Structures are given as C-alpha cells and as structure tokens.
Amino acid sequence: MSIQIFGLPVSRGVAIGRAVLIASSRVDVPHVFIDPARTEEEIARLLTARDVVATEFDALKRDLPADAPAELAAILDVHQMLLQDEALVGAALDWIRQRHYNAEWALSAQLEVLARQFDEMEDAYIRERKVDLEQVVERMLRSIGRGSPSPMPDPGQNARDFGGDEPLILVASDIAPADMVSFKRSVFCGFVTDVGGKTSHTAIVARSMDIPAVVGARQASGLIRQDDCIIIDGDAGLVIVDPSPIVLEEYRFRQRQAELERGRLARLRHTPAVTLDGERIELLANIEMPEDSPGALEAGAVGVGLFRSEFLFMNRAGNLPDEEEQYDAYRRAVEAMKGLPVTIRTVDIGADKPLEGMSSSELRHESVLNPALGLRAIRWSLSEPSMFRRQLRALFRAAVHGPVKILIPMLASQREIRQTLENIAHVQRQLTDAGKPFGQCELGAMIEVPAAALTMPIFLRHFDFVSIGTNDLIQYTLAIDRADEAVAHLYDPWHPAVLQLLHTTIAQARAAGKGVSVCGEMAGDPAFTELLLSMGLRSFSMHPTQIASVKQRVLRADTRRLAPLLDQVLSCEDPEAACTQALLTGAAAIAPKPMAA
C-alpha cells in the first residue's frame, strides 16, 4: 500500500530508488560501502566476530557459579542460538555480498529487519525476545570494532556496483557528519531523515551533492523498510513509499524535465557574471575537500569563497591531521584553482560537527545542552592553541603556491580578535625562525553572530574582508537550533531582523572599502539574488552546483532598477511577499504596510 510522508524540503528535485536504511544503535556503527574485491575479507570480519562472541558465551556459561539461577544458563543458550541463526548472520552476509555493506552496517541492517518482525508478533513472550537479539548484535558489533577497520571504496563507484541497476536512497533517523563525509561521493541519489532542519548539516551536504532530500520527516525510518521503492519530491518535502505505476511515471517525467533544465543552465557555466548595467558579480564556490576544486572550476567559479577545513578533521577517530598533511591538502586545493583565490576557513568544529575522540578540554563541549552555544569554531581553536597554530602554519605555507585568504569563524568580541591576531603573529615568527617559506594572506572574519554584525567598525579595523555566514546568523538572531526539526519552521531567512543585519553589514563593509561576501545558503538561493544585489553585495559564495542558477538571475538583473527594491522590502511586514511582488512588477513602487509597533 502506498503511503505519503511529509517533511521539510531542503534540496530540490526528484529522486526515485530503493531504500537503504541506517538503523540506530547504542554502538557507533560506521556505514561504508566496501570495495567488491574485498567482500570475502569483510565476510571474514563478521564470521570472526561471531566466533569470538560464541567463545565468550561458552566461557560465561562454564564459569557460572553453582548457585546461579537456572534462567541465566537458559538465557545464554538463547543467545547462542541467536548467534548461530541464519536469519541473523546468514542474512547479514547477504547484505555484504549483494550490497557491499561493511560488516557493521550489514549486521545492524539485519537487526532492523528482524526487530520489526519481533515487534509484529502477537505473543508477548516472543516479542520481548527482541531485547536478546539486540544484546547479541551489540556484543558482535563491539567485537567487530576491535578488529581491522573496513576498507574505503573507490569514490568512482556507482549504484550499479552496490546491488543492481536501481538507484539507492538513504533513510535514517539522522545522519552523522562522519557518515555524510563518507557518503558525499557515493551512490545515493537522495536522503530522507527523521530529524533536521533546512540548514542542518545533512541538508547542506545534500544540496552540495545536488541531490533531492527531505529532513524532519519524523517517523520515516520507522515506516520505510529496506528495499522499499520510494520517491523523494524535494520541492514539496514529500516522500512517497511504494508509489502506484501512474505516480511513478509522473515523477519520472519530472526527472527528465529537470535534467533538461540542468542542461540549459550548464551552457552558462563559462559566461561572465555581469548584470545588464555592467556590474561584474563574483560567483565563488564553497568546497569541503581539495578534490572539490576541479568541480568548482568546471562550474564556472572564479575562486573558492569557502573551504570548510573541518572536513579534513573528520572520520579520524580523534587522530587530527598534522601540519604536513594539512599543508599538502591546502596546497592541492590552491594549485587546482590555477591562480584563482582560495578562501580557507579555520576549523569550525562543534554544534552539528563534533569530533571523535575529543581531548579533555574539548569534553566541556559535550556537556553543553545546546552545542550550538558551546565550545565551537574559533572558541575551540583558541582553547587548543597548539592545534590552531598547526593549522595556521599550514595555511601560510600553502599561500606560497597561490592566493590564499584565511577566514576566522564565529568571532564575536575584541578579545577573540586580539587572541587570534596574536596567534597569527606567533605563527609567522615561528615560520621565519624555522626558515620555512610562507606567503602573505588576506585575513577575514565571518559575520555569523549578531554581536559581530552590531560591532562592525571593530572588525573592519582589524580585517581585510568579511564573509557573512547566513546559516548561523539566522540561527543566533532568531534564537533557534537550526538542526532541530521541532523549531525548524521558525528558521526564517526573510525575517526583517535578519535582513536588517545583512543590509547594515554589507553597507558598512562597502563604505570602509573592505571586501564583503555571503557564503551561507542564502547566497546560493536564487530567490535572494536580486535582494542581495540591491543591498550592494557583489560577491556570492555557494556550492558549485548552485552557481548556474544564480548566474542566470544575475545576467537578467539591472542593479539600477533594483534600487527601489531594498526600501520596499525592508519596510514591509512580509519581506518575502514584497520582494516577489516587486520583482514581478519590475521593482515598481509598492505602498508598504508599516511595521507593527
């Protein structure tokens, strides 16, 4: 029977494919597609874990004291039976052979299948045996984790390498940032999660992959089963499970239309972004790894406006990259951009991007009820000066190979600015004393905290440029957690307070002769292009897949005619409606409704 599940639309388009579920577990489970050539090796990891746990159960039963209740021995017998049951281990092996899941993922996927079967049983006693199954699987997962890690697959592999001709759609309660790093270049054509907001980490990565996604879909992972045929309507925030043939054909038609539109936009990739009145607009790319640089050039970016360096720090079990590894990564990104500027943000760890294996001082972050307000970004870097200086040295050394700009995230006070500048000066002295060549870098501050936006003169005295991170600026201005689906409806980039902060930040930077860009999600949303142009913004940074759509709006814009738009939008109670109406009427004058007192 076909069902519909509604959530938040966060990445547009249509995806049709088979569901791949990631089950929740008390044990951290890595989700990795293995190289098909290493299938037997992965099978051996699973069987070895089974044998180790079986030996543990035998030892536990043998060492039971004489006065132990008979039920304990019976429970161990049940666990041994479950351990040898083909419905568990045999089926998990099939996930490895057919879908090329790593051993941990295969076992947790089969646990999800069996757990649902237990839930549907009428007999209460049998139904409660699900707990025994979960305990057995948890013990096996811990045993697997003590062995060799799963090998990473070739990023060039596609869905046909992992279980047939049909595309795959990832379904989960939530997707950890570490998993998103692994999946970024993998086989999925869409994402569905129970939780998350429009600018949650999952949503941002889905947009960066240019694939449809729906988040905040509540019970999606409980309603969708492994291998269900599902449709993601990324425009409506709709997930359709087991669609009828008529619905399936309709969405396939929409997919073909979208493909044609992408082809039309692709023709603009090397057209200069110049407005009708001759204003040259800088369209930059947001990237996450050095390997993203060629894609940025191919999309027509004239530089990198945001290199999120924290992705170099993820999926490392707490073993942070050293100076040489970072230098090599930054150098590769700079050289790949062939002389175009590369803006690299220092590590922005925290909130929805925690690190594994954090040190004692970092553990303070873990205890914060709302991590978005805790030890993150520059706060974390300043609390770990050796790590921060290691990254700064790598950045300055990479600047020998091309133009590098350094961007500092989440600055909010004069004290943080002073400490940052002291660290930079210290690093430059270290490099000079060591005789290591380094380049000169422009230094920028991210404006993503209202305190920074409201004290712009201080920032403009110390920095060469500013970059507005709208995702966090909106979050902190409106006092909501942007990753929490319970308040996701309150996340409003059109809120008058947000627009006022954007306008004044851009205006003050331009008046001071300093560069200003927007690198948050608003920059890549064509709905905001004309409004940002009217504010005086001339530098936009976005994921490469969004450049063509924004460039199309730029090429059709006349900044002289957009001048009346700003006053109309800022003076209205409903800025989004005012902007839409003004653009429909050619930015003609509107009688604005006065703001409520």
**Closest among 552, 554, 467, 557 to 518, alpha carbons compared:** 467
Whether 445 is in a domain gets the answer yes
**Domain tally for the chain?**
4
| β-pairing verdict for 229-233 and 14-22 | antiparallel
Active site residue 229: no
Q: Which of 215, 236, 263 is the last residue of a domain?
A: 263
Q: Is the pTM of this model over 0.75?
A: no
Binding site listing for phosphoenolpyruvate: 308, 345, 471-472, 482
Question: pLDDT of 508-538, one tens digit each?
Answer: 999 999 999 999 889 999 999 999 999 999 9
Q: Which of 209, 231, 263 is the last residue of a domain?
A: 263
Place of tokens 């993998």: 186
Higher pLDDT, 313 or 404: 404
Active site residue 519: yes
- What pLDDT does 363 receive? 38
525 and 489, same structural domain?
A: yes
60 and 41, same structural domain?
A: yes
213 and 284, same structural domain?
A: no
Of 31, 79, 100, 201, the active-site residue reads 201
Domain that holds residue 218: 3-23+155-263
Whether 150 is in a domain gets the answer no
Of 189, 441, 519, 572, the active-site residue reads 519
Q: How far is CA 597 from CA 225, 437, 503, 571, 573, in A?
A: 51, 59, 21, 13, 11
Distance CA 189, CA 275 (A): 34
128 and 182, same structural domain?
A: no
* Average pLDDT value for residue range 340-347: 97
Whether 31 is in a domain gets the answer no
Residue 364 pLDDT greater than 50, yes or no? no
Whether 29 is in a domain gets the answer no
- What pLDDT does 182 receive? 61
For residue 408, what is the enclosing H or E element? strand 404-408
Question: pLDDT of 425-438, one tens digit each?
Answer: 999 999 999 999 99
Binding site listing: 308, 345, 448, 471-472, 482
291 and 436, same structural domain?
A: yes
- What pLDDT does 181 receive? 58
518 and 446, same structural domain?
A: yes
* Average pLDDT value for residue range 366-381: 74
For residue 468, what is the enclosing H or E element? strand 465-468
285 and 259, same structural domain?
A: no
Phi-psi map region of 100: left, alpha, beta (phi>0 left; psi -120 to 50 alpha)? left
Distance CA 105, CA 100 (A): 10
Question: pLDDT of 412-429, one tens digit each?
Answer: 999 999 999 999 999 999
Binding site listing for Mg(2+): 448, 472
Place of tokens 């913004």: 537
